[in-house]
Structure 1
């Protein structure tokens, strides 16, 4: 599917590929030792189709084998940098509803990586679209400002991260952290490893504008498609598993198209979002 796309044609890519040796009954499974060489041809194609100012979010997490955390994700990052990718940032998805359990040498896994790759240092990023409320701390902290709060004061350790606290007076919102607190979704979308719609929605708002093209090469149950439709973006995707592919089309028909129909009624002089999906 990727080879059918033109160079520099995609505004934003977000995907969660099958993790190494996970869900073998569904996706056959990629052995840990083979994961990096398996993914590199894919990441190279993604780099080709992504626009120069676009972003790529890779949701992935190492698994534990024989009591030791794997390193294939770290190895993949290093190899992708050799391809010319910039590892710009790492966001953490905190899964608020992870199921309790007990292990002899660790605690339950409640987070996953969302690795941010770009092709250049300057890229599209709309930070104001993901602002969050200031929170209750602001009322107390900003009530009585000291002299040092009213100027850019250097930190005691000379880190270069000095700040002017008074700049936040009368502000209702602030920029978020790089930790995203979102619950998982599984049973309601007929997929064993679905991320919530809110996850791709957050990144789509951050890195794209209406009408931009969003790509998910491992579509699963179509969650990224739904997020793109909800935000009036165009969408491209592919899915190898026939069951998930058909279910994604059903979700788009039942949820996505209805949502798009309702939104376009109130929109004037704006493009209607489109969806294109492939099955291998």
Structure 2
């Protein structure tokens, strides 16, 4: 199981959080990842995070191997540098997009942007965790196609399925951008 913690989420549901004040804001959503195989080619080495300062010190300075009060046996194997820390199953990613190319082009073209976009770091994490470059990524609920954009950015192919034509019309802005060499300002 994976979960997404959005620290910038607005307080909701408003009636219970802001009016009656008997709940705290909902800021965590479940994330589903599905595979047609019981043993997908997931590899957490592809999504390692930076080590904490204390882990860097442990790798550099060593640690007295011993059984911890928690029952964990912290052996000398913990001193090995594996290239980074294995991430937790809680992804803390703020959803603060407000001035992206996609939104600017939707506004310029009079296209209503998808109302429930998620940050591209979410599909990027799962794409890197679960696939290799050149693989195909399927998003059966594409919306504005954030997943397709993340797939292209990580050299994967993608298939998007979306029932709403208006969302698909706006999604093209994720893939149509001026080439930096050709987009020379006039004057």
Task: Please give the root-mean-square deviation of Cα atoms over the aligned residues, in Å.
Answer: 2.7
Count of matched residue positions in the alignment of Structure 1 and Structure 2:
160
1:208–1:237 Cα change, 3 Å: same
**The one of 114, 119, 131 aligned to 2:31:** 114
Q: Is 2:63 aligned against 1:167?
A: no
Superposed CA deviations along residues 21-50 of structure 1, whole A, max 9, x for unmatched, are xxxxxxxxxxxxxxxxxxxxxxxxxxxxxx
Structure 2, unaligned runs of 5 or more: 12-16, 104-112, 181-187
**The one of 172, 176, 185 aligned to 1:253:** 176
Q: Given that residues 200 and 227 in structure 1 are in contact (C-alpha distance below 8 angstroms), is that contact kept between their aligned partners in structure 2?
A: yes
Q: Given that residues 94 and 112 in structure 1 are in contact (C-alpha distance below 8 angstroms), is that contact kept between their aligned partners in structure 2?
A: yes
1:105 offset after TM fit, Å? Answer: 2.3
Structure 1, unaligned runs of 5 or more: 1-89, 157-161, 260-280
1:176 offset after TM fit, Å? Answer: 0.8
Q: Is 2:150 aligned against 1:227?
A: yes
Q: Which has the higher strand share?
A: 1
Q: Is 2:101 aligned against 1:184?
A: no
1:145 offset after TM fit, Å? Answer: 2.5
Whole-angstrom distance in 2 between the partners of 1:205 and 1:233: 9
Which residue of the partner structure matches residue 135 of structure 2? 212
Q: Give the SS at the match of 2:133.
A: coil
Which residue of the partner structure matches residue 13 of structure 1? none
Q: Give the TM-score of the pair, scaled to structure 2.
A: 0.73
Whole-angstrom distance in 1 between the partners of 2:146 and 2:31: 16
Q: Give the TM-score of the pair, scaled to structure 1.
A: 0.51
